[in-house]
Amino acid sequence: MPSQPSQPFRGLSAFPITPADAQGRVDDALLGRLLENLCDAEVASIGLLGSTGIYAFLSLDERRRAVEAAVEAVGGRVPLLVGIGALRTDHAIELARHAETAGASALLLAPMSYTPLTEDEVFEHYRSVAGSSGLPLCVYNNPGTTHFTFSSELLARLAQLPTIQAVKMPLPAGETLENAIPLLRERTGLAIGYSGDWGMADAMLAGADAFYSVLAGLLPRPVIALVEAAKRGDEETTRQLDHAFLPLWDCFKTYGSLRVMYVLLSRLGLGRFEPPRPILPLGTEARARVLAALDPVLNR
């Protein structure tokens, strides 16, 4: 296998859907086609089995199979960042070790739990998982799904663990990115990345190290153009490019990015998979709104 590229926590990280049938069986062939598109577009990294990658809905066996298929498809051309979040620490450890053995480049860990976790519990969870693998690990701060918010103090503690090198943050509320990024970088020393595609332009213009994008998982090239303009500090071009995405960002916020991405998957002729139950496909009116919002992006 070719040597893995470095810097998995810099630039645009594209998070594709993991195509699976109603029984949760991963479609290896379609996954391979999605990943080939991302490699051809030269995204900075690929985020496999993120929230949009429906990791929480797949069995451990199917997640392992997806990793193996992805490693084969990518072939070391792009860093592969694998989500290993699990309710149980031992399961997360098992997934981390498998990802490393399979040939992944880095790990992404969210603190999944049914019972609300304390900061000490989260620290011990990360300490155990991070110590089980030599791969660099990104902390996934995603309170919208985990209902746990990392304090800067906890992130600073976690940053002392040798393999923890980055954090994937939600867009801040009540604080500007221009203030949040340097403070967090100073307190933790971690690479600072964000998710929430509608904040991509602001985050990259403010100096984020990485952006973890859902839309880039299907449409990498227009998203790359936006990110590259922001990295150059070209605010005028960045805002112009972002303007075409605004109707789609509104759909993300209204319907949830996962539901929207299944509409886009069908529109691009890549498959007709439905989201995993109990999530339902969008209805006719919502689908029409999503498709209309996609036109300005495809027609640029």
Q: What is the pLDDT of residue 6?
A: 54
What is the residue-averaged pLDDT of the chain?
95
> Is pLDDT of 45 > 90?
yes
List the helix and strand counts (H, then E) for the chain.
12, 8
Active site residue 168: yes
Catalytic residue among 55, 126, 168, 212: 168
> 60-74 and 89-102 helices cross at what angle (nearest 10)?
20
Give percent of the chain above pLDDT 90: 93
Cβ density class 215-251: b for 16+ within 10 Å, e for less: bbbbbbebbbebbbbbbeeeeeebeebbebbebbbeb
Confirm or deny that 52 is annotated as ligand binding: yes
Active site residue 231: no
Give percent of the chain above pLDDT 70: 98
Q: What is the pLDDT of residue 113?
A: 96
Q: What is the pLDDT of residue 274?
A: 87
What is the pTM (predicted TM-score) of this model? 0.95
d(CA 291, CA 59): 31
- Assign domain 11-232 to a CATH class: alpha beta
pLDDT tens-digit profile of 141-199? 999 999 999 999 999 999 999 999 999 999 998 889 999 999 999 999 999 999 999 99
Catalytic residue among 55, 114, 126, 140: 140
Q: What is the pLDDT of residue 7?
A: 81
Domain positions in the chain: 11-232
Q: Kindly indicate the confidence band of residue 241, based on its pLDDT and cuts at 50, 70 and 90.
A: very high
> Is pLDDT of 2 > 60?
no
pLDDT tens-digit profile of 128-145? 999 999 999 999 999 999
Pick the closest to residue 104 from 75, 127, 61, 62 (CA basis): 75
